[in-house]
Amino acid sequence: MGGIWKTYKKISVFYKVLGGFVMGIVLGIVIGPPAANLQFLGLIMVRLVSMVVLPLVMSMIVVAVGDVGGKSVGKMGALSTIMFTLSSIIAIGIGFGFAFIFNVGYGIEPDVAWEITQAAAAPTVMDTIINVVPNNIFAALTSADLMQVLAFSIFVGAAITMMPNKKHSAMLIDVFSAVGDVMQKVLSFVMGFMPIGVMGIMAWLIGTQGLGAILEFAPFIGAILATTVVLHLGVHTFLFAFLLGRVPMGHFLKSGKEPALFAWATNSSYATLPVAMTAAQKMGISDKIRNFIIPYGIVVNMDGTAAYLGVATIFIANVYGIQLDMTQLIMIVATATLGSFGAAGVPGAAVVMLSAVLAMLDLPQEAVVLLLGFDRLIPGPARTVNNINGDLAVASIVQRFVEKTTVKKPEDAALVEVEEETVR
């Protein structure tokens, strides 16, 4: 028994989680619907990880802004915002492309039985800006509004740099960085439970939803998967990380595999944030850059969500036989980019955004029900993987152009992994 435990401890986190993932799928297939009883394992895991997200984001951003200073943060913020916007626009473009190639939506019967009780309105630039500003930080914290927590933390960090009493500034930075370290430590306890949690989620999903439900939507799923792969390999790995960030492609893919797997299983970029932080560290992104860019990216950058909105809008227009013109396509790009900025990193967030985009285009909002049933199975996970990897890719670009260094060599990054395993 002791021998098995020793061998298990030697396996890397990725393979343990992958093992849980595969076991979950097998259990789901074998047990069928009663596998829903295993869902609690996944729910506990997501809660365990999510519980550290708010204090982690807050402490990391305060330290990033307070320690690095306004000028550097300004540069990081400006460059990353430009790249996040650009990547979302590219993502929607790819989504449109595959939606047309796969002819999504043709031959599907509109289902009007379901009614959206509360019609979502399309986000405006003004709404998005206003919503960034918290009017009550405690309300923002209790409702886990990461965008507002992020804004508040930037203010606190900036104020710390401007305090006349430098002893107090240094002390506060120490306190926030210690809080961040403690959260990372809490997370390292939680990591041990991840394979079991992932197994629970996958068993529940496969057991209760089955792959049969998505057959009718094969072209849609095809378009989503093709978009995900092209976005992941072509844009994030090749264009962003390799060409712009100078990160070897194999190294980028290897560093991002844990958050990708976790994002797929949990369907939540918020829950994946701590795993993405570790991945950025393994990739060789400096603390200064990752403390700022990863939480910022998780909150505002959702390339997968943006791409999904592109594919899904074309799908619904086709279901209803509505031909979208160029102006409407441009409107989708604008709203989806804005929408993906404001969307929360939780399962199904894109579907809420989708009904807002449909409202803006005067397309039937109730059509989202067609895509709801199987969202958790493939489209949601695929979006979340892209959402996370986009942040890692942009981090490498910021590292190169703001910090003026490229990531450490893969061998050095591997050292980080070994040290971490030993600590655990």
Residue numbers of the site for ligand ASP (CB under 6 A)?
A: 267-269, 302, 305, 343, 345-350, 380, 383-384, 387
Interatomic CA distance for residues 148 and 108, integer angstroms: 40
Q: How far is the CB of 267 from ligand ASP (least distance, A)?
A: 5
Shortest approach of ligand ASP to residue 176 CB, angstroms?
26
How many CA atoms lie within 13 Å of 140's alpha carbon, on the beta-carbon side? 20
> Taking a C-beta distance cutoff of 8 angstroms, is the pair 73, 65 a contact?
yes
**Please, are residues 273 and 294 in contact by the beta-carbon 8 Å criterion?**
yes
Cα–Cα distance, 285 to 392 (Å, whole number): 9
Q: How far is CA 205 from the centre of its chain?
A: 20
Residue 419 CB, nearest approach to ligand ASP (Å): 29
Is the Cβ of residue 305 or residue 318 nearer to ligand ASP in the bound state? Answer: 305
Tracing tokens 């790995």 back to the chain, one arrives at 237
Minimum CB distance to ligand ASP smaller for 349 or for 358: 349
Token representation of residue 17: 């989680």
Burial 297-306, CB ≥16 within 10 A → b, else e:
bbbbbbbbbb
Judged by beta carbon, residue 245 or residue 390, the one nearer ligand ASP is: 390
Structure tokens at 144: 């886990």
In angstroms, give the least distance from the CB of 55 to ligand ASP. Answer: 19
Which residue, 172 or 298, has its beta carbon nearer to ligand ASP?
298
* Residue 59 or 267 with smaller CB distance to ligand ASP: 267
DSSP symbol at 119: P
Provide the minimum distance between the beta carbon of 385 and ligand ASP in the complex, in angstroms, as a whole number: 9
- Which CB atom, from 280 or from 302, has the smaller least distance to ligand ASP? 302
Question: In terms of CB distance, is 173 or 302 closer to ligand ASP?
Answer: 302
Q: Where are the alpha helices (DSSP H) in 192-217?
A: 194-209
Q: Which of 309, 305, 277, 290 is nearest to 402 (CA)?
A: 290
Cα-only R_g, the chain: 21
Backbone angles phi, psi at 193, to 5 degrees: -90, -10
What is the number of other CB atoms lying within 10 angstroms of the CB of residue 405? 13
Q: How far is the CB of 36 from ligand ASP (least distance, A)?
A: 21
Nearer to ligand ASP, 63 or 367 (CB): 367
Q: Minimum Å distance from CB 68 to ligand ASP?
A: 26
Q: CB 187 → ligand ASP: shortest distance, Å?
A: 18
- What is the secondary structure of 374-407 as a DSSP string? TTTTTHHHHHHHHHHHHHHHHHHHHHHHTS--PP
